[in-house]
């Protein structure tokens, strides 16, 4: 598809005179799983905070021609920019289906949902299947396995119609099989959306990245395919200290 879904231009974030993000340009395209990597303190989270409206910045973030700088967090979310955190933030006492239904914005109360469980919207049913939780519709989110909670959180963004997803270390704490399922899920989602992944795991990146941006000291050190960035001597120097 390859259509710019989100464009960041010259993003700068300053904390008491320290530039945590220093002139970053980044484009997220629909159709790609874009990995944001870099050592601790490189500015990855701060950049995502800026895009999602949690941190003030200079520069510009546009989506579908709309400038998002200065907009409130909920406005940015309504523009279709969804984010997950390392620790999944699901409603633990509600079922998988209820979590998705609330995220879909049905406006129905959890109590109403309890009595209407056979009438889930098609979109909720489809996403439940996509995230591999269709057999767990009635399971309380709190008892899901760690990986399943991450998938549910991603599903909540999907039913909320996010078309740019920013995921913070989605495979942290997952075993091999769950990681592979997550990688395949991200590609499935990216068929019609833009997916950006903040990640430390290089094996996961090699297996699933369509494009990689390497941040270092608040700036873009390298960007390109996995092969391009892994062969870049500047990237090797940062990661291997050579
Ligand atoms: P990464 O996600 O790549 O590990 P961060 O974006 O968390 O990096 O941090 C980038 C830099 O900004 C770090 O040096 C960090 O200490 C600093 N930083 C992050 N948030 C704040 C804050 N609220 N106040 C001051 N410094 C911060």
Q: Partners of 58 in the beta sheet?
A: 12
Tens of pLDDT, residue by residue over 160-176, are 999 999 999 999 889 99
pLDDT value, residue 93: 94
Asked whether 158 and 189 are in contact (CB, 8 A), the reply is: yes
pLDDT, tens digit, 9 for 90 and up, residues 72-81: 999 999 999 9
Q: Which atom of ligand 1 is nearest to the CA of 40?
A: 4
The β-bridge partners of 30 are 3
Nearest C-alpha to atom 12 of ligand 1 is from which residue?
Answer: 20
pLDDT at 115: 55
Global ipTM = 0.98
What are the pLDDT digits (tens) for 142-161?
Answer: 999 989 999 999 999 999 99
Does domain 3-90+162-240 fall under CATH 1.10.287.110? My reply is no
- Residue 163, CA atoms < 13 Å, CB-side half-sphere: 13
Give every CB contact of residue 145 below 8 A, 6+ residues apart in sequence. 178
232 alpha carbon – ligand 1 mean position (Å): 25
Atom of ligand 1 nearest to the CA of 13: 12
pLDDT band at 119 (very low <50, low <70, confident <90, very high): confident
Q: Give the pair of three-digit tokens for residue 237.
A: 């120097």
96-104: average pLDDT: 92
CA distance 206 to 16: 36
Tokens representing 207 are 């297996």
Which residues have any ligand 1 atom within 6 Å of their CB?
A: 15, 20, 38, 40-46
The residue to mutate among 12, 39, 41, having the most atoms of ligand 1 within 8 angstroms of its beta carbon, is: 41
CB-based contact 196:164 (threshold 8 Å): yes
Residue nearest to atom 5 of ligand 1 (CA): 43
- C-alpha torsion sign, points 15, 18, 23, 28: negative
Residue 44 Cα, ligand 1 centroid: separation in angstroms? 8
Measured CA to CA in angstroms, residue 231 lies from 73, 79, 234, 235, 239 at distances of: 37, 36, 9, 8, 12
* Nearest Cα to Cα of residue 88 among 122, 131, 124: 131
Which atom of ligand 1 approaches the CA of 49 most closely?
Answer: 6
Question: How much distance in Å is there from the Cα of 40 to the middle of ligand 1?
Answer: 9
Sequence ranges of the domains in the chain: 3-90+162-240, 94-143
The enclosing H or E element of 83 equals: strand 81-84
Q: What is the mean pLDDT of residues 99-126?
A: 73
Q: Is 182 buried (19+), middle (13-18) or exposed (0-12) by CB count in 10 A?
A: buried
């Amino acid at each position: 598809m390859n259509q710019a879904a989100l464009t960041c231009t010259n993003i700068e974030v300053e904390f008491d005179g320290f530039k945590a993000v220093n002139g970053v340009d980044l484009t997220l395209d629909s159709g790609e799983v874009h990995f944001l990597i870099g050592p601790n303190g490189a500015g990855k989270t701060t950049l995502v905070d800026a895009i999602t409206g949690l941190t003030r910045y200079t520069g510009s973030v546009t989506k579908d021609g709309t400038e998002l700088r200065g907009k409130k967090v909920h406005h940015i979310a309504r523009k279709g920019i969804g984010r997950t955190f390392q620790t999944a933030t699901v409603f633990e006492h509600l079922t998988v289906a209820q979590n998705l239904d609330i995220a879909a914005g049905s406006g129905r109360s959890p109590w109403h949902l309890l009595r209407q469980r056979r009438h889930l919207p098609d979109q909720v049913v489809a996403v439940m299947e996509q995230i591999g939780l269709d057999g767990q519709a009635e399971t309380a989110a709190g008892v899901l396995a760690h990986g399943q909670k991450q998938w549910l959180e991603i599903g909540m963004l999907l039913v909320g119609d996010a078309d740019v997803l920013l995921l913070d270390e989605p495979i942290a704490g997952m075993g091999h099989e769950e990681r592979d399922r997550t990688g395949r899920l991200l590609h499935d989602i990216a068929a019609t959306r833009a997916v950006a992944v903040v990640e430390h795991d290089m094996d996961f990146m090699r297996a699933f990245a369509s494009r990689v941006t390497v941040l270092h000291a608040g700036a873009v050190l390298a960007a390109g395919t996995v092969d391009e960035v892994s062969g870049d001597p500047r990237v090797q120097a940062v990661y291997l200290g050579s």
